[in-house]
Amino acid sequence: MRNLTLLTDLYQLTMMNGYFKNGVDKNTVVFDLFFRKNPCQNSYTIIAGIEQVIDYIENINFDEEDLTYLKSLNLFNDEFINYLRNFKFTGTIYSVEEGSIMFPYEPILRVKAPAIQAQLIETALLNIINFQSLIATKASRICTAAKGDSVFEFGLRRAQGPDAGIYGARAAVIGGCVGTSNVLAGKKFDIPVIGTHAHSWIQTFETELEAFRAYAKVYPNNTLLLVDTYNVLNSGVPNAITVFKELREQGYKPQGIRIDSGDIAYLSKEARKMLDAAGFEDTTIVASSDLDEEVINNLKLQDAAVNAWGVGTNLITSKGCPALGGVYKLSAAEENGELVPKIKISENPEKITNPGYKKVVRIYDIENGKAQADLIMLDDEEININEPLTIFHPLYTWKKKTFRNYRIREMLVPLYEDGTLVYKRKSMKEICEYTKAELDTLWPEYRRLNRPQLYKVDLSKKLWDLKNEMMGQFREE
């Protein structure tokens, strides 16, 4: 496992040194990790990367090479360097389960730890969660557009570096893709790997038919042929059909064809007619070529005869939405032995934080199991599910909704308690199954690609009062 201890911004270390020198390094603080806006014009975000957060926390360790480098910066004295030599995370982290559906301003992770420890981990947590959650959400949109067809992640060669390719593939599978072309990601995370051949395979042989036969000879049980090297309908599909007939005579079942260029809607429909006429009604037609959710949605509207989709560049780079703007903000700090709520005030209203030690409660309709709304509450608050529950919009307070036949679920679960991992780690299969179940709790209105309905996220009355009281104090000053 790689040591990512120095995967941080310099100012985290300079602040840590400042805490240390001012004698407040052991004071307990609370930070919330959240985002302010869903990516890709979506109404929800799929949270991914929690397992990598655990890997990071478990392996925090300033080795001698790290310490030598930090000392060379001439910013830190020997006393601070010696402190880092024995650094260990001893705090408490609550987190949503990986694959959870979350919404703006809700705590995804809640860190309660000595100030010097909570400060160090900020950058790495954001780096891990922001990227994987972005790609998982983009993948979910693409899979929604595919309407139940298989979607494959093909983006490694266009990813912004090896880590983006590896962890992006992982996140894409959490978001709904059924496999990846990335062999290292397949090995590392036990996810299906998918791939056949490229145009160069066809070009290597004298004829397209010869190339198809050679491939089928090597992989008779998995013959999926790329048919657009020369001409899809005049040579590619006819040659594929010839090879498919030869395979069938030998007792094998051909898989299908892939189209990587041209008018996918027209070519796929014509190819389907030709394959069906030849008796290969159950073969798959895979489409690739700069696909994303909008292109797939448009192809679906044109009744493209495509069964599976290979999506590369626009998925792995989340084209059109390059980043999830997750932030890590102080919400409480120890004063005279007690945790005191803290708030960040800004001229931009969207940047004003929610103070205090908080939790997120999701409200479900008992009859249909659908998620109805989320409530951000102070941690010591309780809900009596035997009584009606009324919530209100945090800005337009006249907008209210009352729930009667409902159940609730606390979204944050223990990850670390006093530095000890208490969370049961999950396999990729378990994470993917959980994500699917999460998505099934959303009404279709929240999942549509364009102008989705906005999900309700409100503040409890107690938290709303606290926030407004603290804002009022600062306005008076």
| CATH of region 139-316, choose from 3.20.20.70, 3.10.105.10, 3.90.209.20, 1.10.1660.10 | 3.20.20.70
476, pLDDT greater than 70: no
What is the rounded CA–CA span in Å between residue 469 and residue 342? Answer: 12
Q: How far is CA 384 from CA 51, 246, 403, in A?
A: 33, 69, 12
Domain with CATH 3.20.20.70 in the chain: 139-316
Average pLDDT of 199-217?
Answer: 98
How far is the C-alpha of 142 from the C-alpha of 296, rounded, in Å?
8
Render pLDDT for 109-127 as a digit per residue (tens, 0 to 9): 999 999 999 999 999 999 9
pLDDT tens, residue by residue, 241-275? 999 999 999 999 999 999 999 999 999 999 999 99
Looking at residue 255, what is its pLDDT?
97
pLDDT grade for 337, boundaries at 50, 70 and 90 = confident
CATH 3.20.140.10, the chain: domain bounds: 10-135+322-476
- The string of pLDDT tens digits covering residues 271-310 is 999 999 999 999 999 999 899 999 999 999 999 999 999 9
Structure tokens at 229: 């090297």
Residue 358 β-bridge partners:
378
Q: Is the pLDDT of residue 106 over 60?
A: yes
pLDDT per residue as tens digits for the range 15-57? 999 999 999 999 999 999 999 999 999 999 999 999 999 999 9
**% residues pLDDT > 90 (the chain):** 96
User: How confident is the model at residue 118, as a pLDDT?
Assistant: 98
At 475 the pLDDT is 62
Q: Which tokens is 28 given? A: 């307990």
Per-residue confidence band for 473, with pLDDT thresholds at 50, 70 and 90: confident
What are the tokens at 15?
A: 């602040």
Residue range 72-96, pLDDT digits in tens: 999 999 999 999 999 999 999 999 9
Please state, in angstroms and rounded to a whole number, the distance separating the CA atoms of residues 143 and 152.
10
Architecture of 10-135+322-476 per CATH?
Answer: Alpha-Beta Barrel (3.20)
Residue 405 makes CB contacts below 8 A (sequence gap 6+) with 365, 366, 367
pLDDT at 168: 98
pLDDT reported for residue 116: 98
- pTM: predicted TM-score of the whole model, two decimal places: 0.96
Find the mean pLDDT for residues 400-410.
97
